[in-house]
Structure 1
Amino acid sequence: MIVLAVALAGGVGAVLRFVVDALVARWHDRSVPLGTIVVNVTGSFLLGLLVALVHGHAGLDALVTVLGTGLLGGYTSFSTASVEAVTIALRDGARAAVTAVGHAVVMLLVSLAAAGLGLWLGAGF
């Protein structure tokens, strides 16, 4: 039963990712894919918050699996971010490669900071 719940939650997360990415793309038309950054940062924050909120509460492992692995795993997209970074790098030579590396590094660092912020805020509850 939990496998089905994770699969369904993952599908919902993927649809949410598509919607958020499309909304960001409407008002942001740049060479760096901001939608993927927004999705990964918000997903990392929410996962950190979820983990902190359920920490020490027995019996909530299934909730973390369904929401964390399923919903937020389907929502976030580090594989897409990797492909986008390589695509940016291949676009226009050396300058684009610097942009691609900056894109990947900034997304990773900001996502880690967002996860840490979620953990910190969730630990306060």
Structure 2
Amino acid sequence: MNWLLVVAGAVVGAPLRYLTDRAIQSRHDSVFPWGTFAVNVTGCLILGLLTGAAAAGAAGSHLQLLLGTGLCGALTTYSTFSYETLRLAGTGARFYAAANVTASLVAGLGAAFAGVALAQVVWA
């Protein structure tokens, strides 16, 4: 039964990732992968919030499977992040490749910590 929760979350997360990526990227005339960056940081925020909620006893294992594993697993994309970074470096846009790695790490970790902190405020 747990796998159904993961599938249900992924059914929402995968198209949400694709549509969000396309919508954001179409608004930017830049080689920087803003769409992938946005979905990955958003996923980190959601996972941080969910982790904080679980630590406070406000989110159970079923919600973690649905939102954490299913939704965020399909929403975020390490493979696309890696591919886009390598593509940037390979086409000579090394500054953008380095910026993508640095910004993704800093913003992703910051979003996760912010999610945990927000959860502590809400459910403490």
Q: 1:97 aligns with which of 94, 97, 121?
A: 94
Identity of aligned residues (%): 37
Compute the TM-score of the two structures, normalised by the length of structure 2.
Answer: 0.91
Structure 2, unpaired ranges of 5+:
none
Per-residue displacement from partner, 1:24-68 (whole Å, max 9, x unpaired)?
A: 022112111100111011110111011111224287112112210
Worse-matched range after superposition: 22-31 or 111-120: 22-31
* Count of residue correspondences: 122
| Structure 1: gaps of 5 or more residues | none
TM-score, with structure 1 as normaliser: 0.90
Distance 1:46 1:59 in 2: 12
Q: Distance in 2 between matches of 1:124 and 1:91?
A: 45
Deviations 1:98-121 (A, max 9, x none): 321221121111110000000001
Runs of 4+ in 1 over 3 A off after TM superposition: none
Q: Does the alignment pair 1:31 with 2:28?
A: no
Q: 1:3 maps to which residue?
A: 3
Alignment of 1:10-25 (within 5 A): 10-25=10-25
Name the Cα RMSD after superposition: 1.5
